[in-house]
Amino acid sequence: MAAPDYVPTDPTDTVRRYSSPPSRKRSWSADRPGDLDQGQPEGVRFGTQGPDQGYAYRLVSHFDDRLQLGKLSREDVVSGCVAIAMRRSGLFGRGPVIHDLTAAFSVYGFLDPDAPSELVELREKMFSQIANSHHYSERRAVVDKVLTSALEQPHGVIVSSSERDWRSNLAD
């Protein structure tokens, strides 16, 4: 460990020098038990992986004054829509941005004060209690109901298509 000049040292002590770690004779390979050799797994209940996805929770506060919750709790709405925003950002291989949340809240009409009653009934049924960790399957159903082809569109297109016909971005 290096020490400042004013620290007294014994002149007879040997000074340690830097030495490089031993070189590897072969290149690195994914051979440990936890290493993924073919990328992230895909399938039912795996979700869509992406970097820094938790940042979506930080961005939610920008929507607090605009959310139309109806009979649902804020936690349930945020839980479902943040999961949609994380999926959208993961599809692009990046962390979430404000536009991902705008798209997610718009798909289920949470930014529309005059949302159709049929959509309100659907979201009250689908979003009820999904913030609870025991309802992961229900949260995945909310996310999986949104079409991947819709999430790949620019957020403005998602918002306008949801306003025209709310069914256009959701699977049957």
Amino acid, res. 130? I
pLDDT in tens, 64-102: 999 888 899 999 999 999 999 999 998 898 989 999 999
Total-model pTM: 0.75
pLDDT in tens, 135-156: 988 999 999 999 999 999 999 9
HSE value, Cβ hemisphere, 13 Å, CA-based, for 105: 24
Going from N- to C-terminal start, the domains of the chain cover: 55-62+70-169
pLDDT in tens, 41-73: 777 777 777 788 888 889 999 999 998 888 999
Q: Sign of torsion, CA 125 128 131 133?
A: negative
Contacts of 21 (CB under 8 A, 6+ apart): none
CA distance 59 to 78: 11
| C-alpha pair distances (Å), 104 with each of 6, 78, 150 | 61, 10, 11
CB atoms within 10 A of CB 42: 9
Nearest 5°: phi and psi at 123?
A: -70, -30
